A and B are shown apart, each in its own frame.
Chain A
Amino acid sequence: MTSVAPTNTDLAVDKNPAAPEKPTAPRRFSVNLRQSGIYIAFALIVALFSVLTGGDMLQPQNISNIIVQNSYILILAIGMIMVIIAGHIDLSVGSVVAVCGAITAVLTVNHDMPWPLALLVTLIAGGLIGAWQGFWIAYFGIPAFIVTLAGMLLFRALTLTTLGNQGIGPFPDPLRTLSNGFTEGYLGNVGLGPLGGADLVSLLVGLLAVAGIAVTQWRARVGRIRYQQTVDPMPVFLLKIIVPSALVLFVVVQLARFRNLPWVLVLLAALVLGYSLLTNRSVFGRHIYAVGGNLHAATLSGIKVKSVVFWLFVNMGVLAALAGVIFAGRLNQANPVAGNQFELDAIAAAFIGGAAVQGGVGRIVGAITGGLIMGVINNGMSLLNAPSERVMLVKGLVLLAAVAFDVWTKRRAGAAR
């Protein structure tokens, strides 16, 4: 690990009240720390709960539960971190989840609409809700905080109007499968020795994912070398392939031993992959960071700032609609109080995952990790039979600690300037 060497100088600098003018090496390291701190924290939290629960945490069924139980928050977190990167916030997503669940329920249960069509209509409705909020924020210039606070009330009211005081259900089976179901064992099981039987399709998908990680990393490295950029030394490079691969394989093997891959996991994986590409590699994604990093500079660089913000909220609306369908499908009914406080979980996930309060910083994978940290805390503490108020207490402290860490690293970087 190359980052080990600068650690010492970094600490030495820290003890010295007078910050240096040009700490080149420590700067690199603190950037790394700021980005990778979240993953280290995640690993530590998982390890802690694994020990505390005597290994129950990592049992096949429990891993499956963590994914299924948090899928909708993770989907919201994807949209939320993009909104936050652009320097805005969305407080309405919980209510949008509820109203979209209600729309799907009314269409499929009351009007017997085929489920794919109902899903499509719901997603469009989510997009329109996002467009409504995006219009006020981007083109009318009202702070997102206010617009989405109003939206939080508006769409909750709409949900209550639609549903009255009761839930609508049950949902058609395919939608329930999307939320709760698992892929079929198309190719049967294979024996994994002492681990017992496991689903072959799941295992193949896992191997494919690992191959994908290795190939994309390798191609990126080759490309960088061709353009004479500096690349990680070989051991670090291999580590960056091996660690995520091992993680993927571990999760997949556990899931394959339980009930194959949850469909929401497949969906989530696709979303994470797609949105990571979008934010890192697309022109639109780059513009999000530019807008959040310096709005004036972005405007004067010819970036269509208003359009970027507008479409971000449309996107958030669509993702909230998707989360709404999945949540409703999981409960098997559309509920008037569905999605209550989801916005807080999604926002917390984004900030724990490394988003900056001022905008301009954040990654999709970070937000997912942030969401999983909260999910693991929830799950682990419930395995330990902790009362819900204590879970809340811990989550609050974790959120505060994460943002404090972010502010601290930034202040140090600022002092070093």
Chain B
Amino acid sequence: MSDHILQMRGITKSFPGVTALQDVNLSVRRGQIHAICGENGAGKSTLMKVLSGVYRHGTYEGEIVFDGEPCHFSGIRDSEQRGIVIIHQELALAPQLSIAENIFLGNERARRGLIDWNRTNHEAGLLLRRVGLAENPTTPVTELGVGKQQLVEIAKALSKKVRLLILDEPTAALNDEDSEHLLELLRGLRNDGITCVIISHKLHEVISVADAITILRDGRTVETLDTATDQVTEERIISGMVGRDLDHRFPPREPRIGAEVLRIEDWTVYSTTQHDRRVVSNVTLSLRRGEIVGLAGLMGAGRTELAMSVFGRSYGHRISGRIIKDGRPIEVRSVRDAIRHGIAYATEDRKRYGLNLIEDIKRNVSAAALERLARRGWVDDNREYQVADGFRQSLGIKAPDVLSVTGTLSGGNQQKVVLAKWIFTDPDVLILDEPTRGIDVGAKFEIYTIINRLADEGKAILLISSELPELLGLADRIYTLSAGRITGELPRAEATQERLMTYMTKEQE
């Protein structure tokens, strides 16, 4: 019996009207990487907030024993004192400050109130070496990519003499290379005796890195798996998370594919910020009625750039190429042109680019096609309500009514509002950019069902996704994009994760 550094026993945390955690047990062994999996809303973040003292002792039931001693934290400072450090999904770095300043923020290397810069930068340098980040400590954080910023966060945690490091979705915003580096780093930290708790949606990562996996569902512990002794697969974890097996991860669909509806020829786009850098090169692709076409590519391959440049030149500089709709070349110079020609684009970042979060569902649904609800410039409020309420019911948007503010909805429901907005423009072609990003497994299934239904109605779907299983599960045909070029086109039957990955990483000849 190896000893446990952390034991949380019988944790129950309720808010008025909601029980977020019910009798949750979590035992983390010393020097292990322990993953916590669960759908959004399963209680993972709440559990970590209980642990780190955000919810102070007394506001929850149950006990926390850290390193053999019971804990009564009344704030994050208390838990950090004991060596428990949490790194949140949204990084908490000051972008204009240097790496070193960030690492020692709130924990400055100072003598009599004056900062000792030599010591600050020297110690920061040591920490950077430890996390494998080859950057000058005086570099402003804003110049680093997200992956490197993540490493700075870890260096910051190490500076606090961390013993239990908690990472909330650390690789959500990282590309595969950065993710792999991060996971390697966690393995290294484990060997140094630092225990890690990692919350992640990326199950293959969880399996590859974790020693133990605890699955939460609806605020309860489902089970804890040991990757050394149990037979752990993604399917196993998912069925624990959703209580549903993998056969039903993608809804079934009989494709009925019609004539070509959209064709993009010889499409070339230069970067908006660096005018001489080509981000999309001579891309040609076609979409047919009732067809779901996947677009696979690594981060930076130019997927979003391609989609947005087609969507009324919303991105890019010196765009050239042809768009052919229903056999006729069309000019798409603005978003309005695109909408008029029946092209819709649902963004990958719904909070920043997709929704007006302070407005209600109704006004978000109507935003892209308000003219359809108006006569001579005046909007018919009641019709608008009716339309939005129709979408609420048909897409299963979980909200009391369409007057609910979109900012209060969960990710999956927000995504449905985005979809409703674009479906209401009555498009022939829907470009869906990462439609299930940051959405829990149950809601993903619902989004997949909606996508299938749209295809069945005869719309052409271009599905951009970083999750290869998603493309394999939904698309009839998959294009791969690498460094701005189409490097492959595979029908569903011939596509496998390995083949796609090969094409996606293909270098330019």
State the A residues within 8 Å of B (CB).
Answer: 9, 12-13, 16-24, 27, 31, 223-224, 226-227, 229-230, 281-284, 286-287, 289-290, 293-294, 296-304, 356, 360-361, 413, 416-417
Contact = CB atoms under 8 A, between A and B. Distances in A.
A283 B381 CA distance: 11
Interface residues on B, range: 35 or more
B15 A281 contact: no
Interface in B16-60: 16-18, 20, 41, 55-56, 59
A288 to B, nearest CB: 12
Contact of A282 (B20, B377, B408): B377
Q: Which of B345, B378, B389 has the most CB of A within 10 A?
A: B378
A360 B364 CA distance: 13
B382 A17 contact: no
A283 B353 contact: no
Main secondary structure of the interface of B (DSSP, over half): mixed
A289 B382 contact: no
Interface in B376-422: 377-379, 381-383, 385-386, 389, 400-401, 405, 407-408, 421
Interface stretch (B146-154, B241-249, B355-363, B496-504): B355-363
B59 A18 contact: yes
A417 B382 CA distance: 28
Shortest 4 CB-CB contacts between residues of A and residues of B: A293-B356, A20-B15, A301-B368, A302-B335
B353 A297 contact: yes
B111 interface: no
A22 B18 contact: yes
B334 A23 contact: no
B18 A304 contact: no
B338 A302 contact: yes
A286 B356 contact: no
Contacts of B383: 227
A356 B338 CA distance: 32
Of B314, B356, B377, B385, most buried by chain A (CB within 10 Å of CB) is B356
B386 A300 contact: no
Contacts of A12: 16
Contacts, number: 122
Contacts of B266: none
A300 B16 contact: no
B367 A281 contact: no
A416 B408 CA distance: 8
Contacts of B400: 24
B385 A417 contact: no
A266 B383 CA distance: 33
A291 B20 CA distance: 36
Nearest to B50: A18
A13 B356 CA distance: 27
Given A9-B16, A18-B59, A299-B335, 14 more contacts: A16-B16, A18-B55, A20-B17, A20-B18, A223-B381, A230-B401, A283-B371, A286-B363, A293-B359, A294-B357, A297-B354, A297-B355, A303-B367, A304-B336
Nearest to B41: A21
A360 B358 contact: yes
Contacts of B41: 21
A293 B358 contact: yes
Contact of A286 (B17, B353, B354, B379): B379
B408 A27 contact: yes
24 contacts: A9-B16, A17-B59, A18-B55, A19-B15, A20-B16, A21-B20, A22-B408, A281-B379, A282-B379, A283-B379, A286-B367, A289-B359, A290-B356, A290-B363, A297-B352, A297-B353, A297-B367, A299-B314, A299-B335, A300-B347, A301-B421, A302-B368, A360-B356, A413-B408
